[in-house]
Chain A
């Protein structure tokens, strides 16, 4: 064996392995590993690849259901949607790279999630992204946001996947640790799904796509370590994405799949060749033998360590039968791509890597892929616990109009057009609802049915009450789907947390996962996959626990789907659900009163589900003109958004009756509420549906006029021209980016 480096404690530490883990490695392979082998274990046993801290808790998520074809474990989850089609979807984080190099970090994040989808045989039909930044008055945060958004745009637009939605939240905790979570949905034919399995002894192992360079060596371990002062040094580990190559790769892969030339396929994302070879072999109970001299290389003099650990983008590993190799190569040549045989599938479950005629790696794949120790890390709630805040200590607004306009300028609430205008959200001509609706709606060509997708996750809730926040994240995503008329069919989730070695972070994690699990169970939706991103701490400060839920829903008849904007003057505005005395954890408290405190809204999942059912039934019976869920900013913001999203900035007047304080009533974020509009003649039918499902429903007002008016118990609270409110909402984010 070459590369006889002595492996000392320092080396082990640099590879983010503990001494116990190292001892286990020695035991598993029956000798000292060499440096390349150590690198391989280090990658595959990193938190990012092995889920060693999260596994025990992730088991609590419900993963089964009658339509689940593939749950967690593969590159993406798969749900059978009938008529011979499957939906393939997944969410991934690219937080650390996006902080280091916002444009390329975010771009390659998009590239990675796209490959996860098309490696399974699905054509990506839509993408979304969930972003978290620090406050925009800090220039560094603006430049991160600018870079991230243009990076996502740069990659997605060129590749040709519509970026149809997402969410953006702002909080101090993301200042040195932005979050970039990328979601993608693909469609495939049920009988043309491909897995990462190296089946069939002696089948050829082909390397396709871009050449290998010294990119992002140790990217996966980087994503598994806290950033300290040595940030600068870790910097060169960022890759440059090539969306053009990726597009060619997509077309070539789908073509060889369509022609039945592929046995198994796996993208080379984080952990590159290492991950794809070992996982494909382990999944199939086989081994793989490759010769590194055959790997297309961009740079000279690369060592086996570098080649195996490189994270160069836009590459895939394909296993094909010997007599099909030539045809595979022809297809790739048509798309101007390399497809090079680098090895073969072997018996005996070992990864065998040769270089310059010598064996440089010889290890059991199972030990690398499946035998990483799982940790049940210590957890404990923070002490002291999060402070509760009593309404009585909160002063009521002097000037409601002013406060309301201010709330609309919170970047978390403000219009996100500055973001999504940079994304091609219409390519592929399936986008039936443009960004701005509660959920994005995608038609399926030649079908009545449509898919709806949404991302959600309010981390202020999960910070203050992790379990309840976890439930709410699921509930809100499902509510977004219900608002357009979609029934949820599957969940993917990205769990962004701090350092799991800290007991209070682990506690947050456990609580959130249990909350998410409970909600998914109640809504009866399977979790088909996701991603965990730990170590989102910079200089010892952790982000708020941030689960991002990506939920896919199905609309049976696209012509019945409903959007959030008011449609016509004189419609009745009806509230489904109840207003409660809950102001804690609200965006109003955070942005206007600068208090990140209080209890989160309490959620009754069963009631929530019934609210969705009322909405879904009403949409199915074509009783609703619009529906919009109440979330950040509360009832007032929800209603004014319906005005903004109407074709003409149509106003409304709300005449509320309530015993609640007006500020609580207007800005509180009680869950399980949907604001709908209906015509006079349908009022009774909708009320009957509400009664049937034991849901409270109340008429709040009517649409029309060009002002937004609210009164409570006949007392006028404020009135504002819709246009004035609209401008505040619309200009808030662009204002930060104006050249001064």
Chain B
């Protein structure tokens, strides 16, 4: 299968993400330049982390206007698999492919640390290699990861099991302390209703090799690879 990793000006996890899917998972993978209109036949599009356009204005707000995002949007609407990591998640929200918005972390500081995530829904292309309730240890690194949506929106998310990953403590409990950025309903990873677009704040590419302290992020990439191979 083939991964396409989108490069915006200011993306800074583009190389890391490419390294993970191409060198660690040994899949075909290529960068996709934001000014182009070509998805180069990718089976899965990844919007990587970083600070697209400096995160000026709002995180992800300007990247959504990139020419390539038209194609990404169409790709997603046709059921293509799209994964947004960190800044990529923020772009997906701004683009309207995912509902809601990101606000500043509750302590108003940038946070870089390992967090624990619980898989809430394993029937997705992004988590099917795991089991429900499984706890993953994956790092976050963001300033705006405090997820928000209105009450109605939240109900909808819950009804459709769209919150795929939640911040928990090591044992998998939803403690206040574990919800480091203050996200609504501990939301760490969010899927669209159709189930083909996932945004997540934690960085699976930073937890895909033992030398980096955790391999739990592999589950996300492995799930996608399995999924694509079976469809």
Is chain B found bound to chain A in the same assembly? yes
Whether B19 contacts A445 by the Cβ 8 Å rule is yes
| Chain B residues in 8 Å Cβ range of A150 | 109-110
The 4 A-B residue pairs with the shortest CB-CB distance, nearest first, are: A160-B12, A244-B54, A158-B51, A424-B141
User: Is the C-beta of B139 less than 8 angstroms from some C-beta in chain A?
Assistant: yes
Interface residues contributed by chain A, number (CB under 8 Å) = 32
Q: When the two chains form the complex, which single residue of A245, A248, A424, A432 contacts B112, counting CB atoms closer than 8 Å?
A: A424
Given A422-B111, A426-B139, A243-B16 contact (CB < 8 Å): no
Chain B nearest CB: distance from A405 CB in Å? Answer: 23
Q: Which of chain B's residues has its CB closest to A425's CB?
A: B112
A560 CB, min distance to chain B CBs, angstroms: 12
Asked whether any CB of chain B lies closer than 8 Å to the CB of A694, the reply is no
Q: Is the CB of A429 within 8 A of B10?
A: no
Q: Given the known A-B contacts A150-B109, A242-B54, A243-B54, are A335 and B139 also in contact in the complex, defined by CB atoms under 8 Å?
A: no
**Is the beta-carbon distance between A426 and B212 smaller than 8 angstroms?**
yes
Closest to A420 in B: B112
Q: Are B16 and A427 in contact (CB under 8 A)?
A: yes
Interface pair B212/A158, CB less than 8 Å apart: no
Q: For chain B, which range describes its interface: under 10, 10 to 19, 20 to 34, or 35 or more residues? A: 20 to 34
Known: A421-B109, A422-B109, A422-B110. A429 touches B19 (CB 8 A): yes
Q: What are the residues of chain B within 8 A of A558 when measuring CB–CB? A: 211
The verdict on A426 contacting B12 (CB below 8 Å), with A158-B51, A160-B50, A243-B51 known, is no
**How many A-B residue contacts, CB cutoff 8 Å?**
84
CB distance from B170 to the nearest CB of A (A): 11
Which A residues lie within 8 Å of B113 (CB)? 421
Q: Is A75 an interface residue (CB 8 A)?
A: no
Q: Using known A-B contacts A424-B110, A426-B206, A429-B16, determine if residue A434 contacts B51 with beta carbons closer than 8 Å.
A: no
**Chain A residues numbered 412-463 whose CB sits less than 8 Å from any CB in chain B:** 420-429, 431-432, 434, 443, 445
Q: Which residues of B contact A428 (CB under 8 A)?
A: 15-16
Nearest CB in chain A: distance from B15 CB, A: 7
| Bound Cα distance A429, B211 (Å) | 9
CB within 8 Å of B: which of A379-428? 420-428
Interface centre among A158, A245, A423 (most CB of B within 10 A): A158
List 17 contacting pairs A-B, 8 Å CB cutoff, sorted by A: A153-B110, A154-B110, A158-B10, A158-B12, A159-B12, A160-B50, A243-B54, A244-B10, A247-B10, A422-B109, A422-B112, A424-B110, A426-B139, A427-B12, A427-B16, A429-B209, A429-B212
Whether a CB of chain B sits under 8 angstroms from the CB of A108 is no
Give Cα A421–Cα B141 distance, bound, in whole angstroms: 9
CB interface residues, B 50-67, toward A, < 8 Å: 50-51, 53-56
Interface flag for B213 (CB, 8 Å)? yes
Contacts of B12 in A (CB 8 A): 158-160, 247, 427
B9 at the interface (CB under 8 A from A): yes
Given contacts A157-B110, A244-B54, A244-B56, contact A426 B141 (CB under 8 A): yes
> Does residue A336 face the partner (Cβ distance < 8 Å to B)?
yes
Give Cα distance in the complex from A420 to B141, angstroms: 11
Chain B residues whose C-beta falls within 8 Å of the C-beta of A429 in the assembled complex: 16, 19-20, 205-206, 209, 212
Interface centre among A159, A335, A429, A434, by most chain B C-beta atoms within 10 angstroms, is: A429
B203 CB-CB contact with A under 8 Å: yes
